Structure 1
Protein backbone atom coordinates (compact mmCIF):
# COMPACT_ATOMS: atom_id res chain seq x y z
CA UNK A 1 0.00 0.00 0.00
CA UNK A 2 1.29 3.45 -0.93
CA UNK A 3 1.92 5.89 1.87
CA UNK A 4 -0.02 9.21 1.84
CA UNK A 5 1.81 12.25 0.72
CA UNK A 6 3.37 14.05 3.58
CA UNK A 7 2.47 17.53 2.24
CA UNK A 8 -1.30 16.95 2.02
CA UNK A 9 -3.29 19.60 4.03
CA UNK A 10 -5.46 18.22 6.84
CA UNK A 11 -9.25 18.39 6.37
CA UNK A 12 -10.91 20.77 8.90
CA UNK A 13 -14.66 20.51 9.39
CA UNK A 14 -16.38 23.60 10.92
CA UNK A 15 -19.82 23.21 12.42
CA UNK A 16 -21.84 26.44 12.83
CA UNK A 17 -24.20 26.42 15.76
CA UNK A 18 -27.48 28.19 14.91
CA UNK A 19 -29.51 29.46 17.86
CA UNK A 20 -33.14 30.13 17.05
CA UNK A 21 -35.75 31.94 19.15
CA UNK A 22 -33.33 34.29 20.95
CA UNK A 23 -32.85 38.03 20.51
CA UNK A 24 -35.22 40.65 21.87
CA UNK A 25 -38.42 38.67 21.17
CA UNK A 26 -39.95 41.53 19.13
CA UNK A 27 -41.15 45.04 20.19
CA UNK A 28 -44.75 44.41 21.24
CA UNK A 29 -43.90 44.91 24.90
CA UNK A 30 -42.82 48.48 24.16
CA UNK A 31 -46.24 49.34 22.78
CA UNK A 32 -47.95 47.82 25.82
CA UNK A 33 -45.64 49.70 28.19
CA UNK A 34 -46.27 53.00 26.37
CA UNK A 35 -50.03 52.47 26.66
CA UNK A 36 -49.63 51.77 30.37
CA UNK A 37 -47.58 54.95 30.96
CA UNK A 38 -50.10 57.03 28.99
CA UNK A 39 -52.99 55.62 31.01
CA UNK A 40 -51.22 56.36 34.29
CA UNK A 41 -50.46 59.91 33.18
CA UNK A 42 -54.11 60.45 32.27
CA UNK A 43 -55.19 58.98 35.62
CA UNK A 44 -52.95 61.28 37.68
CA UNK A 45 -53.96 64.28 35.56
CA UNK A 46 -57.61 63.46 36.30
CA UNK A 47 -56.88 63.20 40.02
CA UNK A 48 -55.11 66.56 39.94
CA UNK A 49 -58.01 68.22 38.12
CA UNK A 50 -60.53 66.86 40.61
CA UNK A 51 -58.48 68.27 43.47
CA UNK A 52 -57.66 71.63 41.85
CA UNK A 53 -61.12 72.65 40.61
CA UNK A 54 -64.32 73.74 42.31
CA UNK A 55 -67.68 72.03 41.98
CA UNK A 56 -68.87 74.83 39.67
CA UNK A 57 -65.85 74.42 37.39
CA UNK A 58 -66.33 70.66 37.26
CA UNK A 59 -69.98 71.19 36.33
CA UNK A 60 -68.88 73.49 33.51
CA UNK A 61 -66.43 70.89 32.21
CA UNK A 62 -69.11 68.22 32.40
CA UNK A 63 -71.56 70.37 30.45
CA UNK A 64 -68.92 71.15 27.82
CA UNK A 65 -68.47 67.48 27.00
CA UNK A 66 -72.14 66.65 27.47
CA UNK A 67 -73.85 66.25 24.06
CA UNK A 68 -77.24 67.06 25.59
CA UNK A 69 -76.27 70.54 26.77
CA UNK A 70 -78.78 72.34 24.45
CA UNK A 71 -81.66 70.69 26.30
CA UNK A 72 -80.08 70.72 29.75
CA UNK A 73 -82.35 72.64 32.14
CA UNK A 74 -79.50 73.78 34.34
CA UNK A 75 -77.12 74.95 31.64
CA UNK A 76 -79.52 75.86 28.86
CA UNK A 77 -81.11 79.24 28.34
CA UNK A 78 -84.74 78.24 28.93
CA UNK A 79 -86.88 76.18 31.22
CA UNK A 80 -88.19 73.77 28.58
CA UNK A 81 -86.74 71.33 26.11
CA UNK A 82 -86.66 73.94 23.35
CA UNK A 83 -85.00 76.60 25.49
CA UNK A 84 -88.08 78.82 25.75
CA UNK A 85 -89.30 78.59 22.16
CA UNK A 86 -92.14 76.65 20.58
CA UNK A 87 -92.32 74.46 17.50
CA UNK A 88 -95.34 76.42 16.31
CA UNK A 89 -93.89 79.93 16.38
CA UNK A 90 -96.49 81.14 13.90
CA UNK A 91 -99.37 80.04 16.12
CA UNK A 92 -97.98 80.99 19.52
CA UNK A 93 -95.75 83.91 20.37
CA UNK A 94 -92.34 82.73 21.41
CA UNK A 95 -91.57 83.17 25.08
CA UNK A 96 -88.31 85.03 24.57
CA UNK A 97 -89.95 87.73 22.45
CA UNK A 98 -87.88 87.19 19.32
CA UNK A 99 -89.11 85.78 16.02
CA UNK A 100 -92.57 84.56 15.01
CA UNK A 101 -95.56 86.73 14.21
CA UNK A 102 -98.58 87.87 16.10
CA UNK A 103 -101.95 86.65 14.95
CA UNK A 104 -103.65 89.71 16.51
CA UNK A 105 -103.22 91.99 13.51
CA UNK A 106 -100.90 90.13 11.19
CA UNK A 107 -98.04 92.57 11.71
CA UNK A 108 -94.42 91.62 12.48
CA UNK A 109 -93.30 91.64 16.12
CA UNK A 110 -90.21 93.59 15.11
CA UNK A 111 -87.30 91.52 16.37
CA UNK A 112 -85.03 94.29 15.06
CA UNK A 113 -86.56 96.64 17.65
CA UNK A 114 -85.84 94.08 20.37
CA UNK A 115 -82.24 93.84 19.23
CA UNK A 116 -81.84 97.62 19.26
CA UNK A 117 -83.37 97.77 22.72
CA UNK A 118 -80.98 95.11 24.01
CA UNK A 119 -78.00 96.91 22.46
CA UNK A 120 -79.07 100.18 24.08
CA UNK A 121 -79.43 98.47 27.44
CA UNK A 122 -75.98 96.90 27.08
CA UNK A 123 -74.50 100.32 26.32
CA UNK A 124 -76.14 101.77 29.43
CA UNK A 125 -74.78 99.00 31.63
CA UNK A 126 -71.33 99.48 30.14
CA UNK A 127 -71.59 103.23 30.80
CA UNK A 128 -72.30 102.53 34.48
CA UNK A 129 -69.36 100.13 34.64
CA UNK A 130 -66.98 102.66 33.07
CA UNK A 131 -68.27 105.55 35.17
CA UNK A 132 -67.64 103.54 38.33
CA UNK A 133 -64.00 102.74 37.59
CA UNK A 134 -63.24 106.11 36.02
CA UNK A 135 -63.55 107.49 39.54
CA UNK A 136 -60.43 105.59 40.51
CA UNK A 137 -58.19 108.30 39.11
CA UNK A 138 -59.81 111.11 41.06
CA UNK A 139 -58.06 110.57 44.37
CA UNK A 140 -56.15 108.08 46.47
CA UNK A 141 -59.23 107.67 48.66
CA UNK A 142 -61.30 106.68 45.65
CA UNK A 143 -58.65 104.16 44.57
CA UNK A 144 -58.80 102.63 48.05
CA UNK A 145 -62.59 102.39 47.84
CA UNK A 146 -62.51 100.67 44.47
CA UNK A 147 -60.26 97.92 45.86
CA UNK A 148 -63.50 96.62 47.36
CA UNK A 149 -65.29 96.50 44.00
CA UNK A 150 -65.41 94.19 41.02
CA UNK A 151 -68.01 94.05 38.26
CA UNK A 152 -69.16 91.44 35.78
CA UNK A 153 -71.89 91.17 33.19
CA UNK A 154 -74.18 88.15 33.42
CA UNK A 155 -77.46 87.03 31.89
CA UNK A 156 -79.15 88.68 34.84
CA UNK A 157 -77.50 92.06 34.31
CA UNK A 158 -74.52 94.08 35.56
CA UNK A 159 -73.33 92.68 38.88
CA UNK A 160 -71.46 95.15 41.09
CA UNK A 161 -69.83 93.20 43.89
CA UNK A 162 -68.37 94.89 46.97
CA UNK A 163 -66.46 92.72 49.42
CA UNK A 164 -64.32 92.68 52.55
CA UNK A 165 -60.63 93.44 52.20
CA UNK A 166 -58.12 92.33 54.83
CA UNK A 167 -58.16 94.98 57.53
CA UNK A 168 -61.08 96.86 55.93
CA UNK A 169 -64.41 95.01 56.39
CA UNK A 170 -67.69 96.38 55.05
CA UNK A 171 -69.54 95.70 58.31
CA UNK A 172 -68.57 95.40 61.94
CA UNK A 173 -67.65 91.81 62.74
CA UNK A 174 -70.64 89.45 62.87
CA UNK A 175 -73.11 92.36 62.61
CA UNK A 176 -74.96 94.34 59.95
CA UNK A 177 -73.52 97.65 61.16
CA UNK A 178 -71.91 99.32 58.13
CA UNK A 179 -68.42 100.76 58.34
CA UNK A 180 -67.43 104.13 56.89
CA UNK A 181 -66.09 102.50 53.72
CA UNK A 182 -69.54 101.00 53.11
CA UNK A 183 -71.22 104.39 53.49
CA UNK A 184 -68.86 105.90 50.93
CA UNK A 185 -69.38 102.99 48.53
CA UNK A 186 -73.16 103.33 48.83
CA UNK A 187 -72.95 107.03 47.90
CA UNK A 188 -70.74 106.22 44.91
CA UNK A 189 -72.95 103.37 43.69
CA UNK A 190 -76.15 105.38 44.02
CA UNK A 191 -74.57 108.11 41.93
CA UNK A 192 -73.37 105.93 39.05
CA UNK A 193 -76.53 103.81 39.02
CA UNK A 194 -78.44 107.00 38.40
CA UNK A 195 -77.21 106.77 34.80
CA UNK A 196 -79.84 104.08 34.18
CA UNK A 197 -83.39 103.30 35.20
CA UNK A 198 -82.91 99.55 35.50
CA UNK A 199 -84.43 97.80 38.46
CA UNK A 200 -82.00 96.69 41.16
CA UNK A 201 -81.48 93.57 43.25
CA UNK A 202 -79.34 93.42 46.40
CA UNK A 203 -77.91 90.09 47.57
CA UNK A 204 -76.02 89.44 50.80
CA UNK A 205 -73.36 86.73 51.20
CA UNK A 206 -71.21 85.78 54.19
CA UNK A 207 -68.37 83.41 54.94
CA UNK A 208 -68.84 80.01 56.52
CA UNK A 209 -68.76 79.95 60.32
CA UNK A 210 -67.33 77.12 62.45
CA UNK A 211 -69.72 74.20 62.92
CA UNK A 212 -69.08 74.34 66.65
CA UNK A 213 -71.30 77.41 67.03
CA UNK A 214 -74.52 76.74 68.88
CA UNK A 215 -76.44 79.00 66.47
CA UNK A 216 -75.25 79.56 62.93
CA UNK A 217 -75.93 83.21 62.00
CA UNK A 218 -75.29 83.01 58.25
CA UNK A 219 -78.89 83.32 57.04
CA UNK A 220 -79.95 86.15 59.31
CA UNK A 221 -76.64 87.98 58.89
CA UNK A 222 -76.56 87.86 55.09
CA UNK A 223 -80.17 89.05 54.86
CA UNK A 224 -79.59 91.81 57.43
CA UNK A 225 -76.54 93.10 55.56
CA UNK A 226 -78.48 93.15 52.28
CA UNK A 227 -81.22 95.14 54.00
CA UNK A 228 -78.63 97.50 55.46
CA UNK A 229 -77.18 98.15 52.00
CA UNK A 230 -80.67 98.81 50.64
CA UNK A 231 -81.15 101.42 53.35
CA UNK A 232 -77.81 103.05 52.53
CA UNK A 233 -78.62 103.23 48.81
CA UNK A 234 -82.00 104.81 49.51
CA UNK A 235 -80.40 107.26 51.92
CA UNK A 236 -78.00 108.17 49.08
CA UNK A 237 -81.02 109.25 46.96
CA UNK A 238 -81.58 106.05 45.00
CA UNK A 239 -85.25 105.76 44.01
CA UNK A 240 -86.80 103.07 46.29
CA UNK A 241 -89.16 102.06 43.47
CA UNK A 242 -86.18 100.64 41.57
CA UNK A 243 -85.50 98.02 44.25
CA UNK A 244 -86.85 94.75 42.84
CA UNK A 245 -85.72 92.28 45.49
CA UNK A 246 -83.48 91.78 48.49
CA UNK A 247 -81.90 88.40 49.22
CA UNK A 248 -79.71 86.72 51.80
CA UNK A 249 -77.77 83.74 50.45
CA UNK A 250 -75.90 82.84 53.66
CA UNK A 251 -72.69 80.95 52.84
CA UNK A 252 -74.21 78.91 50.01
CA UNK A 253 -72.38 80.67 47.15
CA UNK A 254 -68.73 81.23 48.18
CA UNK A 255 -66.68 83.48 45.92
CA UNK A 256 -63.40 81.63 46.59
CA UNK A 257 -62.41 78.05 47.25
CA UNK A 258 -62.01 78.55 51.01
CA UNK A 259 -65.57 78.97 52.34
CA UNK A 260 -64.30 80.55 55.58
CA UNK A 261 -62.28 83.28 53.81
CA UNK A 262 -63.35 86.87 54.46
CA UNK A 263 -63.53 87.41 50.70
CA UNK A 264 -66.88 85.61 50.88
CA UNK A 265 -68.29 88.48 52.96
CA UNK A 266 -69.80 90.51 50.15
CA UNK A 267 -72.80 92.37 48.81
CA UNK A 268 -73.98 92.07 45.21
CA UNK A 269 -75.85 95.01 43.70
CA UNK A 270 -77.33 93.90 40.37
CA UNK A 271 -78.62 96.24 37.68
CA UNK A 272 -81.24 93.92 36.24
CA UNK A 273 -81.95 93.58 32.56
CA UNK A 274 -85.38 94.65 31.36
CA UNK A 275 -86.63 91.06 31.10
CA UNK A 276 -85.61 90.13 34.64
Structure 2
Protein backbone atom coordinates (compact mmCIF):
# COMPACT_ATOMS: atom_id res chain seq x y z
CA UNK A 1 0.00 0.00 0.00
CA UNK A 2 1.45 3.24 -1.00
CA UNK A 3 2.40 5.71 1.82
CA UNK A 4 0.91 9.18 1.75
CA UNK A 5 3.18 12.11 1.72
CA UNK A 6 2.92 14.17 4.87
CA UNK A 7 0.91 17.26 4.29
CA UNK A 8 3.13 20.33 4.24
CA UNK A 9 2.49 22.75 7.09
CA UNK A 10 0.68 25.78 5.94
CA UNK A 11 2.46 29.08 6.73
CA UNK A 12 0.71 31.23 9.43
CA UNK A 13 0.71 34.78 8.21
CA UNK A 14 -1.00 36.15 11.38
CA UNK A 15 1.86 35.51 13.83
CA UNK A 16 2.78 39.23 13.94
CA UNK A 17 -0.47 39.89 15.75
CA UNK A 18 0.92 38.17 18.85
CA UNK A 19 3.94 40.47 19.01
CA UNK A 20 1.80 43.49 18.30
CA UNK A 21 -0.60 42.54 21.10
CA UNK A 22 2.33 42.15 23.52
CA UNK A 23 3.67 45.54 22.52
CA UNK A 24 0.29 47.20 22.98
CA UNK A 25 -0.04 45.55 26.39
CA UNK A 26 3.37 46.78 27.49
CA UNK A 27 2.64 50.27 26.18
CA UNK A 28 -0.66 50.35 28.04
CA UNK A 29 1.06 49.23 31.23
CA UNK A 30 3.70 51.94 30.77
CA UNK A 31 1.12 54.70 30.49
CA UNK A 32 -0.81 53.36 33.45
CA UNK A 33 2.34 53.51 35.58
CA UNK A 34 3.13 57.03 34.36
CA UNK A 35 -0.38 58.20 35.17
CA UNK A 36 -0.15 56.66 38.61
CA UNK A 37 3.10 58.49 39.28
CA UNK A 38 1.70 61.80 38.05
CA UNK A 39 -1.44 61.56 40.20
CA UNK A 40 0.12 62.10 43.65
CA UNK A 41 -2.21 62.35 46.58
CA UNK A 42 -1.95 66.05 47.30
CA UNK A 43 -3.20 65.73 50.87
CA UNK A 44 -0.70 63.04 51.82
CA UNK A 45 2.11 64.91 50.07
CA UNK A 46 1.29 68.11 51.99
CA UNK A 47 1.24 66.27 55.33
CA UNK A 48 4.58 64.64 54.53
CA UNK A 49 6.05 67.99 53.46
CA UNK A 50 4.87 69.72 56.63
CA UNK A 51 6.26 66.95 58.80
CA UNK A 52 9.65 67.14 57.12
CA UNK A 53 9.72 70.93 57.51
CA UNK A 54 8.78 70.73 61.17
CA UNK A 55 11.36 68.03 61.89
CA UNK A 56 14.35 69.46 60.10
CA UNK A 57 13.73 73.19 60.11
CA UNK A 58 11.91 73.50 63.44
CA UNK A 59 9.19 75.56 61.80
CA UNK A 60 5.71 75.40 63.39
CA UNK A 61 2.99 74.02 61.15
CA UNK A 62 -0.45 75.61 61.47
CA UNK A 63 -3.61 73.61 62.00
CA UNK A 64 -4.94 74.42 58.54
CA UNK A 65 -2.18 72.37 57.00
CA UNK A 66 -0.79 75.31 55.05
CA UNK A 67 2.84 75.02 54.12
CA UNK A 68 4.78 77.82 55.81
CA UNK A 69 7.12 79.93 53.81
CA UNK A 70 10.76 79.10 54.47
CA UNK A 71 13.03 82.06 54.09
CA UNK A 72 16.75 81.64 53.51
CA UNK A 73 18.89 82.47 56.52
CA UNK A 74 19.66 86.15 56.60
CA UNK A 75 23.23 87.36 56.68
CA UNK A 76 24.45 88.58 60.09
CA UNK A 77 23.85 92.26 60.63
CA UNK A 78 27.12 94.11 60.98
CA UNK A 79 26.65 97.37 62.90
CA UNK A 80 27.66 100.36 60.88
CA UNK A 81 30.13 102.73 62.47
CA UNK A 82 28.47 105.70 64.10
CA UNK A 83 29.77 108.50 61.92
CA UNK A 84 28.06 111.12 64.08
CA UNK A 85 29.92 109.91 67.19
CA UNK A 86 33.23 109.97 65.36
CA UNK A 87 32.61 113.48 64.08
CA UNK A 88 31.61 114.61 67.56
CA UNK A 89 34.76 113.09 69.05
CA UNK A 90 36.91 114.85 66.45
CA UNK A 91 35.14 118.14 67.21
CA UNK A 92 35.74 117.66 70.93
CA UNK A 93 39.41 116.95 70.34
CA UNK A 94 39.75 120.11 68.28
CA UNK A 95 37.93 122.12 70.93
CA UNK A 96 40.18 120.67 73.62
CA UNK A 97 43.27 121.77 71.71
CA UNK A 98 41.90 125.27 71.18
CA UNK A 99 41.04 125.52 74.88
CA UNK A 100 44.55 124.53 75.89
CA UNK A 101 46.04 127.08 73.52
CA UNK A 102 43.91 129.77 75.15
CA UNK A 103 45.12 128.60 78.57
CA UNK A 104 48.77 128.80 77.45
CA UNK A 105 48.32 132.37 76.20
CA UNK A 106 46.69 133.42 79.46
CA UNK A 107 49.52 131.82 81.41
CA UNK A 108 51.97 133.95 79.45
CA UNK A 109 50.20 137.27 79.95
CA UNK A 110 49.46 136.61 83.64
CA UNK A 111 52.81 134.98 84.51
CA UNK A 112 53.93 137.64 87.07
CA UNK A 113 50.65 137.46 89.00
CA UNK A 114 50.67 133.65 88.85
CA UNK A 115 54.15 133.68 90.41
CA UNK A 116 52.80 135.87 93.22
CA UNK A 117 49.92 133.46 93.85
CA UNK A 118 47.32 136.11 92.96
CA UNK A 119 46.05 134.30 89.86
CA UNK A 120 45.34 130.61 89.26
CA UNK A 121 44.54 128.98 85.93
CA UNK A 122 42.61 125.71 86.11
CA UNK A 123 41.42 123.27 83.50
CA UNK A 124 38.06 121.92 84.69
CA UNK A 125 35.14 119.93 83.36
CA UNK A 126 33.62 123.21 82.22
CA UNK A 127 36.69 124.47 80.39
CA UNK A 128 39.38 126.88 81.58
CA UNK A 129 38.91 128.83 84.79
CA UNK A 130 40.94 131.93 85.73
CA UNK A 131 40.70 132.81 89.44
CA UNK A 132 41.87 136.32 90.31
CA UNK A 133 42.17 137.47 93.91
CA UNK A 134 40.00 140.53 94.41
CA UNK A 135 42.66 142.26 96.51
CA UNK A 136 44.56 143.13 93.33
CA UNK A 137 41.41 144.01 91.38
CA UNK A 138 39.34 146.12 93.78
CA UNK A 139 39.72 148.18 96.90
CA UNK A 140 37.84 146.78 99.93
CA UNK A 141 34.10 147.29 99.53
CA UNK A 142 34.53 148.81 96.05
CA UNK A 143 33.76 147.63 92.50
CA UNK A 144 36.11 149.85 90.49
CA UNK A 145 39.15 148.18 88.92
CA UNK A 146 42.43 149.36 90.31
CA UNK A 147 44.51 151.10 87.60
CA UNK A 148 47.52 148.69 87.76
CA UNK A 149 45.25 145.75 86.92
CA UNK A 150 43.37 147.35 84.04
CA UNK A 151 46.18 146.57 81.60
CA UNK A 152 46.43 142.95 82.77
CA UNK A 153 42.67 142.45 82.32
CA UNK A 154 42.88 144.00 78.85
CA UNK A 155 45.60 141.47 77.99
CA UNK A 156 43.22 138.65 78.97
CA UNK A 157 40.49 140.27 76.88
CA UNK A 158 42.80 140.32 73.82
CA UNK A 159 43.29 136.56 74.16
CA UNK A 160 39.56 135.97 74.51
CA UNK A 161 38.65 138.09 71.48
CA UNK A 162 40.36 135.60 69.17
CA UNK A 163 38.51 132.63 70.73
CA UNK A 164 34.85 131.75 70.25
CA UNK A 165 34.00 130.16 73.62
CA UNK A 166 31.27 131.50 75.92
CA UNK A 167 32.63 133.41 78.92
CA UNK A 168 31.05 133.55 82.37
CA UNK A 169 32.43 136.09 84.84
CA UNK A 170 31.66 135.23 88.46
CA UNK A 171 31.96 137.53 91.47
CA UNK A 172 32.59 135.94 94.91
CA UNK A 173 32.96 137.37 98.42
CA UNK A 174 33.65 136.06 101.91
CA UNK A 175 30.95 135.69 104.56
CA UNK A 176 31.54 139.00 106.31
CA UNK A 177 28.41 141.12 105.69
CA UNK A 178 28.72 144.45 103.93
CA UNK A 179 26.18 147.21 104.13
CA UNK A 180 26.68 150.69 102.81
CA UNK A 181 24.86 153.16 100.64
CA UNK A 182 26.24 151.60 97.46
CA UNK A 183 26.03 147.89 98.26
CA UNK A 184 23.33 146.71 100.68
CA UNK A 185 24.84 143.18 100.76
CA UNK A 186 27.50 140.92 99.33
CA UNK A 187 25.11 139.94 96.55
CA UNK A 188 25.20 143.41 95.02
CA UNK A 189 28.95 143.74 95.57
CA UNK A 190 29.78 140.43 93.86
CA UNK A 191 27.40 141.09 90.97
CA UNK A 192 28.71 144.61 90.28
CA UNK A 193 32.34 143.42 90.40
CA UNK A 194 31.56 140.71 87.83
CA UNK A 195 29.74 143.26 85.66
CA UNK A 196 32.72 145.64 85.86
CA UNK A 197 35.03 142.99 84.40
CA UNK A 198 32.38 142.13 81.79
CA UNK A 199 32.20 145.75 80.62
CA UNK A 200 35.98 145.90 80.29
CA UNK A 201 35.95 142.76 78.10
CA UNK A 202 33.10 144.11 75.97
CA UNK A 203 34.95 147.42 75.47
CA UNK A 204 38.05 145.44 74.41
CA UNK A 205 36.10 143.75 71.60
CA UNK A 206 34.75 140.51 73.11
CA UNK A 207 31.32 139.84 71.57
CA UNK A 208 28.54 140.74 74.01
CA UNK A 209 26.59 137.54 73.29
CA UNK A 210 29.51 135.52 74.62
CA UNK A 211 29.58 137.33 77.97
CA UNK A 212 27.63 136.59 81.16
CA UNK A 213 28.11 138.12 84.64
CA UNK A 214 26.97 136.35 87.83
CA UNK A 215 27.21 137.39 91.48
CA UNK A 216 27.46 134.50 93.96
CA UNK A 217 28.24 136.50 97.12
CA UNK A 218 29.61 134.02 99.72
CA UNK A 219 27.60 130.98 98.54
CA UNK A 220 30.47 129.21 96.75
CA UNK A 221 33.59 129.36 98.93
CA UNK A 222 36.72 127.47 97.93
CA UNK A 223 38.14 127.64 101.46
CA UNK A 224 36.53 127.77 104.92
CA UNK A 225 35.74 131.31 106.04
CA UNK A 226 37.17 130.66 109.50
CA UNK A 227 40.64 132.19 109.05
CA UNK A 228 41.73 135.36 107.29
CA UNK A 229 43.63 133.41 104.65
CA UNK A 230 40.54 131.40 103.79
CA UNK A 231 38.39 134.53 103.52
CA UNK A 232 41.00 136.19 101.30
CA UNK A 233 40.97 133.14 99.06
CA UNK A 234 37.20 133.30 98.74
CA UNK A 235 37.18 136.96 97.69
CA UNK A 236 37.81 136.50 94.02
CA UNK A 237 36.64 137.01 90.46
CA UNK A 238 36.51 133.90 88.31
CA UNK A 239 36.60 134.10 84.52
CA UNK A 240 35.14 130.85 83.25
CA UNK A 241 35.84 130.04 79.59
CA UNK A 242 33.11 127.54 78.87
CA UNK A 243 33.59 124.14 77.24
CA UNK A 244 31.41 121.02 77.05
CA UNK A 245 34.35 118.62 77.25
CA UNK A 246 34.14 116.63 80.51
CA UNK A 247 37.55 116.49 82.13
CA UNK A 248 38.84 116.29 85.65
CA UNK A 249 40.04 119.62 87.00
CA UNK A 250 43.82 119.96 86.82
CA UNK A 251 45.81 123.01 87.81
CA UNK A 252 47.94 124.43 85.00
CA UNK A 253 51.32 125.79 86.11
CA UNK A 254 54.15 127.38 84.12
CA UNK A 255 56.74 125.01 82.69
CA UNK A 256 59.30 123.82 85.22
CA UNK A 257 57.19 124.73 88.24
CA UNK A 258 55.85 121.99 90.54
Equivalent residue, structure 1, for 2:90: 116
**Residues 1:143 and 2:140 are matched in the alignment:** no
8 Å CA contact retained: 2:125, 2:245: no
The runs of 5 or more residues in structure 2 that have no matched partner are 1-78, 247-258
The change in CA–CA distance for 1:107 and 1:145 in structure 2 (over 3 A counts) is closer
Q: Which runs of 5+ in 1 are unaligned?
A: 1-100, 137-141
Q: Map residues 1-276 of structure 1 onto 2, 5 A cutoff.
A: 108=82, 110-135=84-109, 143-144=112-113, 147=116, 148-165=118-135, 169-210=136-177, 217-243=185-211, 245-258=212-225, 261-274=231-244
* Contact 1:145 1:185 survives alignment (8 Å): no
Q: Report the TM-score, using the length of structure 2 for normalisation.
A: 0.55
What is the deviation of 1:217? 1.6
- Once the 2 structures are TM-superposed, how far is the Cα of residue 263 of structure 1 from its aligned partner? 2.1
| Residue 194 (structure 1) shift | 2.9
Query: Contact 1:198/1:274 (CA < 8 Å) preserved in 2?
Result: no
Higher normalized helix content (fraction of residues) = 2
TM-score between the two structures when normalised by the length of structure 1: 0.52
SS of equivalent residue, structure 1 residue 255: coil
How far is 1:144 from its partner?
A: 4.0
Indicate the structure (1 or 2) with the bigger Cα radius of gyration. 2
Checking the alignment, whether the CA contact within 8 Å between 1:149 and 1:160 is kept in structure 2 is yes
Preserved CA contact (<8 Å) 1:124 1:195: no
The secondary structure found in structure 1 opposite 2:98 is: helix
How far apart, CA to CA, are the structure 2 residues paired with 1:109 and 1:216?
55
Report runs of 4+ in structure 1 exceeding 2 Å deviation.
106-109, 144-148, 210-213, 257-260
Q: Could you tell me whether the CA contact under 8 Å between 2:168 and 2:242 is conserved in 1?
A: yes
Q: Counterpart in 1 of 2:62? A: none
Report the RMSD for the aligned CA atoms in angstroms: 3.1
3-state DSSP of counterpart to 2:121: strand
Work out the CA distance in 2 between the residues paired with 1:263 and 1:178: 18
- 1:255 is displaced (CA, Å) by 2.2
